[in-house]
Amino acid sequence: MISKLEILPNEIFFNIFSHLLWNDILTSFWSLNKRFNSLICLNFSINNCGIIINKTSLSYKIFLSKLFSLISNCSSLINSIRHIHLDGTCPYNYEFINKNRYIYNYSNLKSLILDRFYLSELLINNLCSLIQGQLNKLTMILDEDVFTVFESEKEPLIWVASQKIRLHYACFIEYLIEHTPNIERLVVYLKTPWNRYQLSDLASEKFEQSNTISSNKKFRAEKLKYLILKSTVDYDGQLYYLKWFFNNLNSVENIKIRLKIDGTCEKNPIIYGSIVDANFIWKYLMSDTIINLIHFDFYIVSKCKLLSNYSERTINSFKNHSFFVERHWTNVKCLFDEVKFYQHLSSSPSTINNLSEYFYDLM
């Protein structure tokens, strides 16, 4: 006899599942009958519902003791899981990727979230392998910020955000680019204070020769076509690094920059003594070799040291600079914030707005 519960349409069950933890769905509904098994597999495959292991919902030990064997022994279930979320504050979760490598059992896994994981070389190598082999989305949460990495056939993408991780994360981007050569779309978000290596390295390294770095290191990004950069710049070393970074991206066709330049210290003569205009952008925020660039979209907010309005002078600099004139990139808009003494400079006049809308998370 069919129960009244089973008369309900699938949509009702999906709505019920959306209010339950994934492990409760399995323990409550799995093996009731073939229909429920099918609904659970479908729910895992089409939604962000997946394996979530953390201290608040389900510990790794409970997962191993109660659910691991159930999932592993059912091919339809393990093949339906598209999303896994692991909390690095649970020590055993590292075994899931680095030691036991259980994560490789999930052949259809497309989305992985690692929350507060320590960035070891072994972990990075495993992540690169997963990106190349199967993942469409990798999210790394460090403190309150997020690293997101996408690598898919249609629209490969890397998104990186960091606030408190001061070691290695800029070179972490380079490492990922080198080891995922099919990346076509790259989004980089660097929240202050950021660095390539340690803070002392950035202060001591000289990037004045914009196509070199102290190690003469370059990375290859031959298939990269689209770049979005959102960052703060507080001292000259960061500016030199960005220039070096752009000089490694000669294949890029589209660049979108959201930059907040806030260094006013005399120890940083480039930032302190410069007006952000056409020449500044050409010199520090573009590759020396422009080959494939088709579209260049920028919004730059910079602190005005002399507390003066240079809006008209800045706009005219684009009309007089041969590079921007030849490409018809002269329709810029520049506004001066007389309260906070910030200059707003945009290649898209319609996007000019207030500081909080575009840079609230960089303040």
Per-residue pLDDT of 252-309, as tens digits, reads 899 999 999 886 667 788 888 888 999 999 998 888 777 788 999 999 998 876 656 6
- CB 263, CB 221: distance < 8 Å: no
Indicate the average pLDDT of the chain. Answer: 75
Q: Which domain holds residue 325?
A: 118-359
pLDDT tens string 154-210: 444 444 443 233 333 566 677 667 766 667 777 777 766 676 654 334 333 443 433
Residues with Cβ < 8 Å from 179, sequence gap 6 or more?
128, 131, 132
pLDDT at 4 over 80: no
| Predicted local distance difference test score (pLDDT) of residue 195 | 62
In a domain? residue 22: no
- Predicted confidence (pLDDT) at residue 357 exceeds the cutoff of 60: no
pLDDT at 70 over 50: yes
User: Residue 191 carries which DSSP code?
Assistant: P
Q: Is residue 173 part of a domain?
A: yes
> How many domains does the chain contain in total?
1
Does 348 fall in a domain?
A: yes
Q: What average pLDDT does the segment 13-39 reach?
A: 89
Higher pLDDT pick, 129 / 195: 129
d(CA 275, CA 328): 22
Per the model's pLDDT, the better-predicted residue between 225 and 147 turns out to be: 225
Residue 249: inside a domain: yes
pLDDT at 352 over 90: no
Q: How confident is the model at residue 333 (pLDDT cuts 50, 70, 90)?
A: very high
Q: Would you state the pLDDT for residue 156?
A: 43
Residue 253 domain-assigned? Answer: yes
In a domain, residue 147? The reply is: yes
| Per-residue pLDDT, 208 | 41
Between 92 and 335, whose confidence is greater? 335
- At residue 330, does pLDDT exceed 90? yes
Q: Is residue 23 part of a domain?
A: no
Per-residue pLDDT at 192: 65
Inside any domain, residue 8:
no
Q: Give the separation between CA 192 and CA 353, rounded to whole angstroms.
A: 22
Q: Model's pTM, two decimal places? A: 0.62
Would you place residue 147 in the very low, low, confident or very high pLDDT band (cuts 50, 70, 90)? very low
